[in-house]
Amino acid sequence: MTGLGAALLARASASVASVVLLVAAGLVAAGTARLLRAPEPQRDRRVDVATGLVLVVAGVLAVVLSSATVRVLVLLVAIGLVATAVAELTGSRRDDRPTAIALAVASVALAGVVLVWPRLSLWAIGVALGAWLVLTGLVTVARAVLGRAPRTARPPRRALQRAAAAGALVVSVALVVGTVVVHRGDVRVAPDAFYSPPLAVPDEPGVLIRSEPLTTGVPDGARAWRILYTTTDGDGRAAVSSGTVLAPLDAGEAPAPVLAVAHGTTGVTPRCAPSLAAQPFADGAGAALERMVAAGWVGVLSDYVGLGTAGPHPYLVGPDTAHAVLDAVRAARSLELDLTHDVVVWGHSQGGHAALWTGMLAGDYAPDVPLLGVAALAPASDLPALAEGVRAEAIGKLVSAYIAASWAEHVDGVELREVVTPGYLPLVRRIEDLCFTGRDVVAALATASQMTDEVMRPDVLDGEVGALLAANSPDGDVPVPVLLAQGSTDPLVLPAQQRAFVATRCAAGQAVDYREYEGLDHLSLVAATSPLTDDLVAWTLARRAGEPAADTCA
């Protein structure tokens, strides 16, 4: 039993089949140990037999029902642990009471840990049940040795037995505390008065309402500001957005070239604004941005509407985020900076989606912000395919929850209760309040892991939400050079989907420089050590120099 527990701990992240077999073997071993336990005075043998049978049956069912949902395995393990707790409390001798209580509490606590991690429970079961098997195995050995030892040798043996039980209790409590910490997320940071616009706001988009110096997370050799400015949504209605501007300390004599950076997913609630983060310039290709600023460029980063400012945030709503990106550049011109009028746009993930939409709309919406090029890094390019491809994964459930929560507030006719799977409304509300930054990421994924079915009802993607996803996919023409970068192992924006999107755009006559980076996933693609960092800097400098852009469609 102890050996099986150690194997479970070592193989907690192994394949599903391996973990299921080890769990089943552990339950059967624990049950067999109960059944073979030697009769003891003042202990009801029937309790051990009943508990042993429950554990053995649970282990057999774990194998028989291995193709069922993860929740079935969760319930089987939880039943086995609770049955053991009951047996410890009802069948223990008076002199064995402290050990029994410790093991009972540990068993119930570990059952609770397993129950709150449905989608991640294979790992949770491996850790929880593995630790339980190791420590209860040691207690079982201690009890067996104690039963055969001379009475004069029992006190130290009993101390060893109680120490093992105490160890089980400590481990279980630690796992419970860890679970609570994970689900709690980050300490709340609310937007301050800077993000509240005055009563009278100009109707013209791109007007700087206010600015203030920003010192948090600013790279060496740079200076920064928070900005609040006017913009419009996709229907032309006035809105207010916040953002940041990053510039070199020493301005050159010539106007500084401008880089508009669209950030990736950070959440859908106001406190998730990048300008409120401890590292406001670390999103996406942050290392490449620092290099560009060091070379004399000015970075302009929009928070988008509803992040920082009052919501709702139009998550993955293309025109709204594109307008916010373009108007941030206009607003930055009112700072104490001498800027060029032409701009290169970058974006990663959600920001890649926003960057492509910016390229599509800039000519009509902001002809005073001429673009030199658009770099979309792992962009959310085909929203229906994205929603369909990863909706069963924890990260896909998180994105789906963000879409559902945001669109229910932003889009007329979309009701959250009618969109999400029955019973998931409280979980979606919980995710809505969590950011995709800091410790909140773990809390958000932990919450998403509790949903064993897809977040959105199966018929929703075939109805209005599916039509909205298609309408917000950036499948229009971008009349400037486009760099589209993708990691070959990306689990969120799947490479096959990206290749299909590129092929469609190429067939439509769009020139695209498509680069796929072997072995890189969604985040490592934009890491400082990624080969994309050098490529992105070189590509951006080439756009400023007016060099011909590569076209892999040709």
pLDDT tens, position by position, 145-171: 555 444 444 455 556 556 656 666 666
DSSP annotation of 515:
E
Backbone phi, then psi, for 209, in 5-degree steps?
-85, -45
Asked if 175 and 206 sit in the same domain, the reply is no
Q: Cα(393)–Cα(452) distance, rounded to whole angstroms? A: 9
Q: 């050799």: which residue's tokens?
A: 221
User: Do 59 and 27 touch, CB atoms closer than 8 A?
Assistant: yes
Q: Cα(391)–Cα(401) distance, rounded to whole angstroms? A: 10
> What DSSP line would sit under 162-181, residue for residue?
HHHHHHHHHHHHHHHHHHHH
Asked if 266 and 290 sit in the same domain, the reply is yes
Asked if 355 and 390 sit in the same domain, the reply is no
Asked if 132 and 19 sit in the same domain, the reply is yes
The answer to the question of residue 424 being in a domain is yes
Q: Cα(40)–Cα(38) distance, rounded to whole angstroms? A: 6
Of the residues 420, 445, 469, the one at which a domain ends: 469
**Containing structural domain, residue 104:** 2-184
User: Do 62 and 76 touch, CB atoms closer than 8 A?
Assistant: yes
Q: Cα(379)–Cα(264) distance, rounded to whole angstroms? A: 9
Rounded to a whole number of angstroms, the CA Rg of the chain reads: 29
Peptide bond into 213 cis (omega under 30): no
DSSP annotation of 463:
S
Asked if 15 and 82 sit in the same domain, the reply is yes
Of the residues 406, 434, 469, the one at which a domain ends: 469
The answer to the question of residue 347 being in a domain is yes
373 - beta bridge partners? 344
Q: Cα(505)–Cα(499) distance, rounded to whole angstroms? A: 10
How many beta carbons lie within 10 A of that of residue 355, not counting itself? Answer: 34
The answer to the question of residue 431 being in a domain is yes
Q: How far is CA 307 from CA 292, 488, 545, in A?
A: 25, 31, 34
Asked if 62 and 147 sit in the same domain, the reply is yes
Asked if 399 and 369 sit in the same domain, the reply is no
Instruction: Label residue 237 exposed, middle or buried (CB < 10 Å: 0-12, 13-18, 19+).
Output: exposed
The answer to the question of residue 464 being in a domain is yes
Q: How far is CA 309 from CA 99, 100, 403, 455, 468, in A?
A: 56, 55, 19, 27, 24
**Beta carbons within 8 Å of 259's beta carbon, 6+ residues apart:** 289, 292, 297, 298, 299, 300, 343, 344, 345, 346, 540
The two tokens of residue 467 are 């039509």
Asked if 412 and 309 sit in the same domain, the reply is no
The answer to the question of residue 109 being in a domain is yes
The answer to the question of residue 551 being in a domain is no
Asked if 114 and 149 sit in the same domain, the reply is yes
Q: Cα(239)–Cα(204) distance, rounded to whole angstroms? A: 10
pLDDT tens, position by position, 432-488: 988 988 778 877 877 787 777 788 888 887 888 889 999 999 999 999 999 999 999
User: Do 107 and 85 touch, CB atoms closer than 8 A?
Assistant: yes
- Could you give the number of structural domains in the chain? 3
Asked if 370 and 439 sit in the same domain, the reply is no
Of the residues 184, 218, 234, the one at which a domain ends: 184
- CATH number of the domain bearing residue 368: 3.40.50.1820
User: Do 434 and 443 touch, CB atoms closer than 8 A?
Assistant: yes
Comparing CA positions, the residue from 178, 74, 83, 81 lying closest to residue 125 is: 74
The answer to the question of residue 552 being in a domain is no
Asked if 491 and 525 sit in the same domain, the reply is yes
Q: Please give the angle made by the CA atoms of 253, 375 and 340, to the nearest 5 degrees.
A: 20
The answer to the question of residue 353 being in a domain is yes
Asked if 366 and 241 sit in the same domain, the reply is yes
pTM of the entire structure?
Answer: 0.75
User: Do 339 and 270 touch, CB atoms closer than 8 A?
Assistant: no
Q: What is the pLDDT along the chain (554 residues), one digit of tens a residue?
A: 555 556 555 554 445 566 677 777 777 877 787 777 666 655 666 777 887 788 788 778 877 776 555 667 677 777 777 777 777 767 665 556 676 677 777 777 766 666 665 544 455 666 666 666 666 666 666 555 555 444 444 455 556 556 656 666 666 666 666 655 555 655 657 799 999 999 889 989 999 999 999 999 999 999 999 999 999 998 899 999 999 999 999 877 899 999 999 999 999 999 999 999 989 999 889 999 999 999 999 999 999 999 999 988 999 999 999 999 999 999 999 999 999 999 999 999 999 999 999 999 999 999 999 999 999 999 999 999 888 767 777 788 889 999 999 999 888 888 888 888 888 888 899 889 889 887 788 778 777 877 777 888 888 878 888 899 999 999 999 999 999 999 999 999 999 999 999 999 999 999 999 999 999 999 999 999 999 999 999 999 999 999 999 999 97
How many beta carbons lie within 10 A of that of residue 426, not counting itself? Answer: 10
